Amino acid sequence: MSNRILNGSLYVAILVILNCCAVRAADALHYELHFERPSTHLMDVTIHAADLKGPSAEFAMPDWAPGSYYLQNYSANIQGFHATNSDGKPLAWRKTDSQTWRVELGGASAVTISYQVFGDTLRNNQAQYNERHVFIGGPSVWMYLVGGKERPVDLSIAVPEGWKVATGMERTSDHTFRSTNFDWFADAPLEISDFAEKDFQVLGTTYHVIVHDVVGQKDFGKFADDMQKFVATIVPMFSSVTGAEQPAPFKDYWFLFHIWPNTGGGLEHLNSTQINFTTDWDMQSPVPGYGTQYSLKLFVTSHEFFHAWNVKRLRPRPLGPFDYSQMVHTPSLWISEGFTSYYGALALERAGLVTPQQYLDGIGNMITNFEQSPGRRERTIEDTSWDTWFNGDVVSQANNLKNTNYSYYDGGQIMGHILDFAIRKGTNNQKSLDDWMRLMYSRYALPKPGFQPDDAIKAASEVAGTDLSSVFQKYISGKEPIPYEEYFAYAGISVEKKLDSEKAWLGVSQSKSDDGHTKISNVIPGSSADKAGLDRDDIVIGIDGRSVDEDAFSGAILEHKPGDTLQMTVIRLGRVKEIPVTLAPSPYPTYTLKPMENPTEEQQAIYNSWMGIK
């Protein structure tokens, strides 16, 4: 090849590269964010989109947010929509459904749309703007270009004076940011305020602890130190399969905490998480199953952090690329959420933040509650994953889900133990569920398309060196009783089931009515309450001729023994009724987990390696 041909080829190649770069730059969508007065809770969004083709372009609001599996109707908070071409001339538009705006381009190849978003709640993946701060859960604020979610996104923010921005998005300046595509853009929440921050590093990654606290503004230094301990426990688990310079698949990670009244919950993201707490860091009041408020905060944070691997990168195939316009079903959320809870809790024990017995006490409490769920007779663990959309705002009418559904978080966390112990037993403690996670991650994590249910079964059997499909078929796809005693014994843990035949059981859940009495919120099928004819929304005003308020209700029941008949006075549909109720003992046992006094060498070895005891 001559120099002339070589130089000519090089010139052509350079032109191709430059043209590709120009197209990519032009393809980027440019978002702007401004704010009205805080008391209006209105945010102004502008989107500039170029390189459009065809007679029209459609912009849509997501109808749900990844990680929150219920329809949220974000478009209800949109107002003031309008569209113009590059000359500022208004373009006609109309809505084609509840969440989509179609703009008639009239020959234009570029369009600017603008709209306002009302945001005044800190619920998961919502938005809030007031005089104290701005929080943005992406799907609640950002429209997307239909057919253009793969385009890069640039964002500029008119940050109020004295405030700063915390987000997992790539920062191009103090007030400008970039995301690879809309999925990344929508996945990166933003906190804009005068927040406090503490940072720490683990294995080459910087972790930013962002706190916006309007309750007590207490020091969160100890909490950040404890976070570093469980982060250092979790990150090495995937280090052999991430293939990055640092073991974590990100150089920076952002914990966005809010201490805010009457809120709660957390939501995972690719390199960040939003977590809301009602109480401040020093709260130590007891919480059943978690020990204290403080340890519950640690668990929630650990859980959301583990999601950076499990579900955000290793995810069921139907979950991505995201279709924000409709429900997306998968039977595998028991893995995505339940295994995340499994490792979120276990990481606290392995990091020394809870004792082994405190951990076992929490699992015993969870199994007890899980086995008391009436829905265990109706749905499998896989069914609860598939039907998760019933648990949100999509169903507002009265329903019977309290008696037909239950938590795939708990079901998955319990099955994490069962599968972990089965793998350890089958391999003489040479393999564990950790190896299953790594194998699944190496095969199906992003940018790969994700896993199907059979992939999980095959990987578990491969790691265990024996066919584990029957475990999945019996206890996950099926409704057979889980043999806790057998599997926990592999790790030298005894499971005690105790029925309290002396304790009276009514079989209801309740709340406090407006006038302070007990309001029946659910009646468990087959219970004493069910057989007597008690009904939801009955308001109990008396027992055996004595007036009782909600505070005294449970105590009044416990004064009796199984077999006793008591006379309940209730108000139903405005009428007073007398209902005799014959109490029975609870059919549900209490589960207690403890290490065996004389475990075998194999049992002790499994226990020690599982608990991280050296």
Confidence of residue 441 (pLDDT cuts 50, 70, 90): very high
**Least confident piece of the model among 63-72, 355-364, 460-469, 524-533:** 63-72
| Per-residue model confidence (pLDDT) at position 392 | 64
Residue 390 has pLDDT above 50, yes or no: yes
- Strand 252-259 with 272-277, pairing: parallel
pTM beyond cutoff 0.95: no
What percent of the chain clears pLDDT 90, i.e. is strictly above it? Answer: 90
Instruction: Report whether pLDDT(4) > 60.
Output: no
> For residue 115, what is the enclosing H or E element?
strand 111-118
Cα torsion 203, 219, 269, 161: sign: negative
Q: What is the mean pLDDT of residues 239-261?
A: 89
The tokens 């057989």 sit on which residue? 531
pLDDT in tens, 350-374: 999 999 999 999 999 999 999 999 9
Q: Write out pLDDT tens, residues 13-61.
A: 433 333 444 444 448 999 999 999 999 999 999 999 999 999 999 999 9
Q: Give percent above pLDDT 70 in the chain.
A: 94
Report pLDDT for 240: 84
Find tokens 């859940």 and name the residue: 509
> Residue 7: its pLDDT value, please?
42
Predicted local confidence at residue 243, as pLDDT:
65
Average pLDDT taken over every residue of the chain:
93
Q: With a cut of 90, say whether residue 593 has pLDDT above it.
A: yes
Q: What is the pLDDT of residue 391?
A: 77
Tens of pLDDT along 474-499?
Answer: 999 999 999 999 999 999 999 999 99
Q: Which of 235, 215, 223, 460 is nearest to 332 (CA)?
A: 460
Mean pLDDT to the nearest integer, 436-458:
97
Cα distances from 228 to residues 21, 117, 224, 280, 282, in angstroms, run 40, 36, 6, 19, 18
What pLDDT was estimated at residue 246? 77
HSE on the CB side for 118, CA within 13 Å? Answer: 9
Closest CA to 138 of 43, 253, 221, 17: 43
Confidence category of residue 397, pLDDT binned at 50, 70, 90: low
pLDDT of 124 reads: 83
* pLDDT tens digits along 501-550: 999 999 999 999 999 999 999 999 999 999 999 999 999 999 999 999 99
Mean pLDDT of 383-402: 80
pLDDT per residue over 311-356, tens digit each?
Answer: 999 999 999 899 999 999 999 999 999 999 999 999 999 999 999 9
Residue 150 pLDDT: 96
Report, as an integer, the average pLDDT of 90-117.
97
- List the one residue out of 364, 313, 321, 322 whose CA is nearest residue 340: 313
In angstroms, the first-to-last Cα distance of the chain is: 65
Residue 524 has a pLDDT of 97
Q: How do residues 554-579 score in pLDDT, each as one tens digit?
A: 999 999 999 999 999 999 999 999 99
Which tokens in the block code for residue 613? 């005891």
